A and B are shown apart, each in its own frame.
Chain A
């Protein structure tokens, strides 16, 4: 089975088509990476490092201390974090703790 050598014009045309195909594949791959990244960012929650958590926002009091990795639930916000009012307690029992000046 024999092959006819391509003419220069035919070879240049083939190279142009190959280059176009390469660019198209690369563009498609980049687009796919971007889509996958967006989907991952939206569906897989991340977290900051402990240091960053402690100081990410001066208005934030979500904190992590250096060695015990304790995190406060004193989450920030532009307002005081309120709760439902405490209930009155019968005077007959003894309390678990006392609040008052110290």
Chain B
């Protein structure tokens, strides 16, 4: 089955749309663009005019949310609950303190030391979210960062929208967060698995095949910077408010949705040594790469190699 792919950039990362009906690619592209625009308008922490930025600037008062931000916040809080707080949207101040305070393209790759102290983040339970009224109240000092879940949510929503617009089968990848919907190509969607989603698609690279759902990766090997000689990265451990320092540098998972794959991958990085058992108990197929490059596969994640 022939497929058509469109590449671009969105939400600060590479974006790719693939459809199985090349005649419908433009319709799918328009649908995806609409979703990504809405997510960016609502959830960007770098745009001062985003709804999230306005929310973070309005502590200790009930703030009415758009349906999009309410949905994204609901997803983030669900992620926190399912991961027992390992994926927590109240890491906003911690990630800024670590130096990631603007669009990553503008973050200096090296710089002087930043004062970092181990201190738990406020915690997702401090967010008073009323989904029925679509209002939220943040305590003073709490900054919400939806970076752990909003991109995966965008991939899911964009794939849903593309499928409605184009039919057939669709795949949306946003910075390596992959959502697949509809009728997959013969043999399934091929997803190259690595530590950098911007790596060129190449024959010979490790890959898996999936028919639908989501595949996502969290990694400490990208989106890194140095301050005072120390290497920092964007995955904050809510227990310390510092970049996670466990044994895993990259985790890739598959789930029914891209959001849930992403939650599992990020939680695994933060959980550290406990992650394989947690993933296995949750039934989430995963591929974990430790700091030395050794690969551990759980819950049926396949060995690299020939088709089976």
A residues bordering B, Cβ < 8 Å? 50-52, 54-61, 63-68, 70-76, 78-102
Contact = CB atoms under 8 A, between A and B. Distances in A.
Given A68-B35, A74-B257, 11 more contacts: A51-B67, A54-B68, A55-B65, A55-B134, A59-B81, A61-B71, A74-B259, A80-B263, A85-B299, A96-B171, A102-B14
Given A86-B209, A96-B5, A100-B222, A79 B282 contact: yes
Interface string B177-188: 110010001001
Contacts of A75: 257
Given A59-B81, A63-B74, A74-B156, A91 B305 contact: yes
> Which secondary structure characterizes the binding site on chain A?
loop
B131 A56 contact: yes
A81 B34 CA distance: 26
12 contacts: A61-B74, A61-B153, A81-B257, A83-B254, A86-B209, A88-B304, A93-B190, A96-B191, A100-B199, A100-B222, A101-B197, A102-B198
A51 B199 CA distance: 39
B6 to A, nearest CB: 12
Contact of B285 (A52, A56, A79, A86): A86
Nearest to A50: B67
A82 B67 contact: no
Given A58-B78, A76-B78, A86-B208, A96 B38 contact: no
Interface string B68-82: 101100110110011
Interface string B189-222: 1111111111101111111111011011111111
A78 B132 CA distance: 19
Interface residues of B, number: 103
Contacts of A52: 132
B222 A66 contact: no
Nearest to B37: A68
Interface in B239-297: 250, 252, 254-260, 263-264, 282-285
Contacts of A97: 16, 18, 171, 173, 178, 189-192, 201
A99 B173 contact: yes
Given A65-B67, A74-B156, A98 B212 contact: no
Contact of A87 (B14, B67, B204, B209): B209
Contacts of B181: 73
B88 interface: no
Contacts of A71: 157, 160
A66 B38 CA distance: 8
A94 to B, nearest CB: 5
A96 B184 CA distance: 11
Given A80-B260, A97-B16, A58 B207 contact: no
In the A-B complex, the 9 residue pairs with the closest CB atoms: A101-B219, A102-B175, A85-B300, A63-B71, A88-B302, A81-B256, A101-B222, A86-B208, A100-B197
Nearest to B152: A74
A94 B161 CA distance: 26
Contacts of A78: 82
B289 to A, nearest CB: 10
Contacts of B5: 96
